[in-house]
Amino acid sequence: MTTEIMPGLALQKVDERIMTLNVGPQHPGSGHMRIVVQIDGDYIVACDPDPGYVHRGEEKMAEYRNYITNIPHLERPVIHDSCNVLYPYVLGAEELLGIEVPERAKYIRVIASELNRCIYIMYWLAIYGIFLGHSTMFMWPAGDREFLIDLMEKMSGARVTHAHFVPGGVRNDLPPNFEDVCLRQVNYFEKRIKEYAAVFYDNPILISRTQDTGVLSKQDAIRLGTTGSVLRASGVDYDLRVKEPYDVYDELDIHTNVMKEGDAYARSRIPWLDMMESCNIIRQALQKMPKSGSVRTKLKPNPKTKVPATVYKRVESGRGSLGCYIVSDGKTEPYRLKLSVPSFRNLIALPYLLKGEKLGNMPSVYWSLNYWPVEADR
């Protein structure tokens, strides 16, 4: 019923049965974005996600900074997952600058990346809990994150934005006795998240609310270009840590969690299973890591790429495949930097999933997409 009278200006015929709700940006269930929802009674007729409220111009900023000074600001899009969001950039910059990374640094990166994945998923899980009205599931993950945040603080010195990965390795070596502390805390963390099953994942009310809601079939998941936990919950066995291993992931034994249902419950369960897998990976990496050695190849100040070149690297972040495309014209700064973020790719599925659902399913479906508004806007 939309007639476009001018480019960008459209007239819409109003149906009296349809109510338009602006969920966000000032809404406790939206995050830094807006979802324009049209409802007929309790059923959602149409849904239009409207991101862009937290656009930070990260890609443009990267063109004015050299390869080292790009590090602190490029991890800002997802501060809870800051190691993973920086990972593809660091891999790309290493290839452009032609640096070799020491073996120990690669293992430290894997450990930091997996710890950060757990930290991000715990934050996501806390919000998923409070979106479903489960206040205990808000407090428990938010509290248990602290174990891992303390580990990251010991490792990098910062609690949230670590800026720990640099082209050529990691910034600092591990503190003494880190391996023992890490193993102990990760074991306790795993024991603790297994308890969430009793209060959250096996809760009959949660299952009745999220099962068979927002079903994304395998074909649609591939067609819409979703990634990460959303894709794996729809039955596609796709994990970049296994399919395109980077750093030392090919030396580790990684099990990919896949569920066939494709509903909101499966999408909320996959990240939880991923956390347990991350604990396994951390234990393996701690075992295989060289006990001593350099962790960083020293760079010249203001390093330059040798020739004009392009590079595209991607890693498996807490939300899915996160890519970084760097174009270099041989200067100290990148000519162009493009982040391909999983949040935006998953958000595309939202209008398809919410159509025909009840309004009460909106928070459970929306947040099960493993979406982070700041990352989608960059």
Partner 1 sequence: MSVIAPKFKLSEFIKSILDDAFWTILILNLIGIPAVMMILFFIEMPVIHGELLTPFLALSWIADPTRTLPIIQSFMETDIFRVMAFPGFGFAALLAAGTIFVERKMLAKLQLRVGPFYCGKLEGILQLMGDGLKLISKEIIIPAKADKPIFWAAPVIFVGAAAAFVALIPVAPGWVVADVDLGLLAVFAVIGFFPIITILSAWSANSKFPFIGGIRALFQMVSFEIPLILSLLGVVILTGTLNLSEIAASQSNFPWIVFLPVGAIVFFITMLAELERIPFDLPEAESEIVAGWLTELSGMMYGLVQLGTYLKLYAFAALFVVLFLGGWNGPSIVPPFPAEIITDGITMGPVTLKVPGLPIFSQEMLNGTLWFVLKTVGVIFFIILPRGVFPRVRVDILLNLGWTKLIGLAFVNIFIALGLLYAGVLGPGGLQ
Which residues make up the interface to partner 1 (CB under 8 A)? 19, 21, 27-29, 42, 129-140, 143, 199-200, 203, 205-206, 208-209, 358-363
Amino acid identity, position 290: P
Q: Which is nearer to partner 1, 233 or 264 (CB)?
A: 264
Using CA atoms, how far apart are residues 370 and 100, in angstroms rounded to an integer? 34
Give CA separation, 231 vs 216, 247, 294, in Å: 9, 23, 38
Q: How far is Cα of residue 333 from the mean position of the Cα atoms in its chain?
A: 26
Pick from 108, 153, 143: nearest CA to 122: 143
- Cβ 151 to partner 1 shortest distance, Å: 19
Using CA atoms, how far apart are residues 277 and 253, in angstroms rounded to an integer? 10
Q: Which is nearer to partner 1, 330 or 360 (CB)?
A: 360
Using CA atoms, how far apart are residues 156 and 150, in angstroms rounded to an integer? 10
Residue 256 backbone zone (phi > 0: left; psi -120 to 50: alpha; other: beta): beta
- Cβ 122 to partner 1 shortest distance, Å: 14
In angstroms and rounded to an integer, the radius of gyration of the C-alpha atoms of the chain is: 21
Q: Which is nearer to partner 1, 116 or 361 (CB)?
A: 361
What are the tokens at 337?
Answer: 């930097």
- Cβ 217 to partner 1 shortest distance, Å: 22
- Cβ 173 to partner 1 shortest distance, Å: 34
Q: Which is nearer to partner 1, 356 or 360 (CB)?
A: 360
- Cβ 200 to partner 1 shortest distance, Å: 8
Q: Contact at 8 Å (CB) between 278 and 118?
A: yes
- Cβ 129 to partner 1 shortest distance, Å: 8
Q: Which is nearer to partner 1, 22 or 217 (CB)?
A: 22
Q: Which is nearer to partner 1, 282 or 362 (CB)?
A: 362
- Cβ 147 to partner 1 shortest distance, Å: 12
Q: Which is nearer to partner 1, 334 or 363 (CB)?
A: 363
- DSSP assignment of 33-66 equals SEEEEEEETTEEEEEEEE--TT---HHHHHTTS-
Q: Contact at 8 Å (CB) between 315 and 240?
A: yes
Burial class (CB in 10 A: 0-12, 13-18, 19+), 10: exposed
Q: Which is nearer to partner 1, 29 or 351 (CB)?
A: 29
- Cβ 279 to partner 1 shortest distance, Å: 20
Using CA atoms, how far apart are residues 347 and 350, in angstroms rounded to an integer? 5
Pick from 187, 176, 121, 186: nearest CA to 154: 176
